[in-house]
């Protein structure tokens, strides 16, 4: 018997958690880790965003960490931040379809396409967001700031196992990140370090509870910085201010 004592929204609406960050910092791997660690405790779904392919979704399905049908891809066909900030409709439809098909889901993880340091999710799409950096991008990245680094709900400094090979001082990088974030949490993570993986698991569980209890207000980390990129026809597109597309 369906539970008719609760309003529709609370029965089908999941905690929507965005994962953004520059190309290759480990967003898909982090989502795979969350699924591996929490699939027994939480009912999970995943939406990936790629520009032209469903590669990230296929990679996650092949990792065998979640029922493959709970992992769906949105092909953005445009620069990744458009689909997570400016026109979130295809992503919202994908999230709502997943929530309906597998109701009730506890958490839907939405992976952004790899972009630059400035891409963050709109609060219209996700309730909270993780921004992922990695040590291989250089120890000074955290100091450079940007909306994701400064205001995402969690900043992850990933692949700490590689720090020794790229000459990065992880505690210093974390300290710099904390200084840029006004007390918001920073997690040094490596999938090879069980203690750090436990820290990630703990954060997701705690945030799930806070969002479920209505104790969290989604925030917009801030507008895009001016940037340019080449579209599929090789034409240079410049976005010179926050709302240029
Ligand atoms: N050494 C190490 N490598 C990692 C770790 N996490 C991810 N990687 C590797 O980093 C590379 C990129 O990881 P992905 O998870 O595909 O990164 P992504 O951010 O999803 O990449 P895009 O979707 O292309 O932006 C892969 O070769 C991963 O195996 C980690 O904790 N330690």
- By residue range, what is the domain housing residue 137? 16-217
* Residue 163, CA atoms < 13 Å, CB-side half-sphere: 21
Atom of ligand 1 nearest to the CA of 190: 31
Does residue 63 have its Cβ closer than 6 Å to ligand 1? no
How many domains, the chain?
1
Does residue 137 have its Cβ closer than 6 Å to ligand 1? no
229, part of any domain: no
For the entire predicted model, the pTM comes to: 0.88
Which protein residue has the closest C-alpha to ligand 1 atom 32?
A: 159
The pair of three-digit structure tokens given for residue 66, joined into one six-digit string: 């979640």
236, part of any domain: no
237, part of any domain: no
ipTM, two decimals? 0.98
The pLDDT tens digits along the chain (245 residues) read 445 454 444 556 999 999 999 989 999 999 999 999 999 999 999 999 877 778 788 889 998 999 999 999 998 776 777 888 888 999 999 999 999 999 999 999 999 986 777 788 999 999 999 999 999 988 888 888 888 999 999 999 999 999 999 999 999 999 999 999 988 999 999 999 999 999 999 999 999 999 999 999 888 887 655 556 666 677 766 655 444 33
Question: Residue 239: its pLDDT value, please?
Answer: 57
CATH code for position 107: 3.40.50.300
In the chain, which ranges are continuous DSSP H helix?
8-12, 27-38, 55-62, 80-81, 89-101, 141-144, 147-151, 163-166, 170-180, 194-212
Does residue 190 have its Cβ closer than 6 Å to ligand 1? yes
77, part of any domain: yes
């Amino acid at each position: 018997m369906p539970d008719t004592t609760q309003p529709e929204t609370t029965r089908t609406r999941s905690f929507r958690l965005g994962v953004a960050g520059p190309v290759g910092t480990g967003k898909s791997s982090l989502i795979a880790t969350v699924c591996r660690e929490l699939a027994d405790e939480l009912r999970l779904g995943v939406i990936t965003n790629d520009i032209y392919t469903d590669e990230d979704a296929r990679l996650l399905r092949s990792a065998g960490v979640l029922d493959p049908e709970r992992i769906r891809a949105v092909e953005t066909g445009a620069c990744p931040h458009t689909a997570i900030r400016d026109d979130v409709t295809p992503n919202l439809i994908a999230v709502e379809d997943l929530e309906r098909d597998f109701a009730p889901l506890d958490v839907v993880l939405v992976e952004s396409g790899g972009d630059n340091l400035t891409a963050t999710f709109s609060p219209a799409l996700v309730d909270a967001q993780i921004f992922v950096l990695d040590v291989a991008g250089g120890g000074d990245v955290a100091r450079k700031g940007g909306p994701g680094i400064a205001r995402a709900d969690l900043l992850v400094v990933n692949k700490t196992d590689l720090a020794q090979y790229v000459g990065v001082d992880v505690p210093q990088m974390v300290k710099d990140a904390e200084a840029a974030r006004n007390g918001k949490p920073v997690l040094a993570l490596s999938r090879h370090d069980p203690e750090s993986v436990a820290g990630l698991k703990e954060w997701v569980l705690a945030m799930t509870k806070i969002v479920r209890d209505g104790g969290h207000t989604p925030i917009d980390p801030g507008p895009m910085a001016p940037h340019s990129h080449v579209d599929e026809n090789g034409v240079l597109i410049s976005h010179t201010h926050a709302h240029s597309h």
